Structure 1
Amino acid sequence: MLIRLLSGLALLWAMAPALALEPLSIYTDEWPPISFEDGGEVKGMAVDLVNQIQHRLHQDQPVKLLPWARAYNFLLNRPNVLLFVLGRTAEREKLMTMVGPVAASEINLYCRKGEAEALRRLGDKLQVQPVTAFRSSIFLAVAKQHGFKNIVESTDPVQSALLLHASRVSMWSEGDSVVDNVMRKAGLPVQEIELLQPLEKIDLYLAFSRGTDRATILAWEQTLRDLKRDGSFRKLYQRWLPGAAAPMQVERVGVEP
């Protein structure tokens, strides 16, 4: 009888974090292989990570895939929202709480194959050539920060790839870790584009909206630390991004929850 009672108490103790935490609305966007839809299922490196964290916290909230601009609007205007992955900027640190990094990428400018040399010869005039990036993304923000003035906003990375393919723009601002997968998702050969120039290296985070319970954010932060400490994160990262260096530090930045 005593053993049964102790077992029951142990189970309740293990479940305590799940019982205490406010349910999250969890969103991501189409950004393969980090997050993407395949056969009606949301998959990807960061999706697997989020689900592993939920499993350890005894949670099972669905991950919903939305256009980035819509999901980002939810993050800015609703409590208890988690959006992933998101690039860290000084402006965003004033608007949300970020935990990570959970991935790293380099923002590059890409152009159609065979056009890079001619574009580089434009010098300062390159900045008036049309460049695409998806709406509300860090890729769009970084292009603007580097002085590019003729920005053509797309709804998602696949549309950006198609705009470049159709010669609607001269350049595409995108992350090096996903560009090949985005091209394939768009039904385009990877060999059709080439690197024009690197812009900036970034770390990518899980982002929690203002009003999200502090205990929830701290639980996710600690569980991410645990996954990195026991090797689970590195194993997951290498499965999706073979050869890429997994970011192993953990920090919480932005709005204090």
Structure 2
Amino acid sequence: MQLGFKLIYPLLLVLIFIVNSPVSFAKLIIITEQYPPFNYKDTTKKAGKKQQLTGIAVDILKQTYLNAGLKLNLNDIKILPWSRGYYLAQQAHLTNMLFSTARTKEREDLFKWVGPIVADYTSVYALKRKK
């Protein structure tokens, strides 16, 4: 039996501003996870190069900052397990940006969304006897 459900749009950025006042980009804590090909730490050994955050979503984030005339230091981005980043993104006393994550009906009102970057579909398979 196949149960299909759609992850509406994984997004580049999820801007969390619980208070309606604007927040300076300089004060944002940027959080992501290891989720290739969207965002991941490149672990290949390159002569003289430090391992760096890379991926489709990272490239879009860099270009977004560049277009806005802002500086982005990839070393300032926190790479955390997804559940911890998602939890921190919902804390009212913090100004966090979480990227990239799936936009679902349940999450719609929790965040201020920017994107999308891609559409994604997920299917779950199980044996009929397992219901």
TM-score by length of 1: 0.34
Asked whether the 8 Å contact 1:22–1:80 carries over to 2, the reply is: no
Could you tell me which residue of structure 2 aligns to residue 101 of structure 1? 116
Give the aligned residue type for 1:34: F
Pairwise CA distance, 1:74: 1.0
Pairwise CA distance, 1:28: 0.9
Q: Pick one of 18, 24, 30 that aligns with 1:26.
A: 30
Q: Pick one of 106, 118, 131 that aligns with 1:91.
A: 106
Structure 1 runs of 4+ with >3 Å offset: none
Higher relative contact order (CA 8 A, sep 6+): 2
Structure 1 position 50 matched with structure 2 position 66: no
Gaps of 5+ in 2: 1-22, 44-50
Asked whether the 8 Å contact 1:34–1:47 carries over to 2, the reply is: yes
Structure 1 position 79 matched with structure 2 position 79: no
Aligned partners of 1:105 and 1:73: how far apart in 2?
22
Query: Structure 1 vs Structure 2: percent identity of aligned residues?
Result: 32
Structure 1, residues 169-215: CA drift from partner, whole Å, max 9, x if none?
xxxxxxxxxxxxxxxxxxxxxxxxxxxxxxxxxxxxxxxxxxxxxxx
Aligned partners of 1:126 and 1:54: how far apart in 2?
48
- Equivalenced residue count is 97
Q: Match of 1:70, SS?
A: helix
Aligned Cα RMSD in Å?
Answer: 2.1
Aligned partners of 1:80 and 1:89: how far apart in 2?
21
Gaps of 5+ in 1: 1-19, 111-118, 128-257
Asked whether the 8 Å contact 1:27–1:84 carries over to 2, the reply is: yes
Aligned partners of 1:69 and 1:22: how far apart in 2?
23
Q: Match of 2:83, SS?
A: helix
More helix by share: 1
Pairwise CA distance, 1:63: 2.4
Q: Pick one of 60, 65, 68 that aligns with 2:82.
A: 68
1:22–1:35: structure 2 CA closer, same or farther, 3 Å change rule? closer
